[in-house]
Structure 1
Amino acid sequence: MQADSLQQYARDRVEELPGAGLEHPFGPEWEVFKVRDKVFMLLTEVTGEPIVIVKAAPEDGKALREQHDDITPGYHMNKRHWITLHPGGKLQKQLVEDLVTESYLLVVENLPRAKRPVDPATFGLSTR
């Protein structure tokens, strides 16, 4: 995957997620994507390459890290709950989109019901 494609696929997917927004609380070199003030994705190039950092269930993150050389523990995040996607390898667009969506839903399901922009149990079922 092209280096610039990885982050662009992630950005494009976020545009389809209700209530998701972009902020820069750590300066211009960090793109922080939130839903209802809770972070679900970060993009940066501070490591020297454009990376995508997303939330993952601990067992899923472990399996993904074992299956893909381009997925490592979350950069500057809790290593159990976050993973980093690196460019240049074999990560497919669909996997990137699915991981962004899963990260978003993990955050949404922990929000109070009244604040959820979507129902995490049914979101996306009819579109796939």
Structure 2
Amino acid sequence: MIAWGASNGPATGQLIEGLLRRLPHPEQSYRACLGLLALRRRYDAVRLEAACARAVAAGTIAYRSVKSILAANLDTDPLESHAITTRLPASHEHIRGPRYYDTPPTDLFADDRPLVRSRPESLC
């Protein structure tokens, strides 16, 4: 079955191999593999290979992923060759820093005001 998928392209073969290894018994993945190969009837081999490459790159080894990539025409978009990394600056206006914790806490109950308001005499 892997060779059958690899005849379409390396990414298709890699995806079918991933499908077969995903479950403890390879037989459980046969329907997903056959469904993936049946997509060749609806889409051409180039689009199927591009969708499989996108699914492998995204780490979503599933028939549904490939089918939704093809349905949304995401296979025509180029794959990002570099990983996007986000780094936060070491200091910005929302970071308190160690000096914030050096100040003593304020005593909320320093004044002897009652915590619960008493009702006015007119309501009693």
The structure where strand makes up a greater share of residues is: 1
Tell me, yes or no, whether TM beats 0.5: no
TM-score (norm 2): 0.28
Greater gyration radius: 2
The structure where helix makes up a greater share of residues is: 2
Q: Which has the higher contact order (CA 8 A, sep 6+)?
A: 1
TM-score (norm 1): 0.28
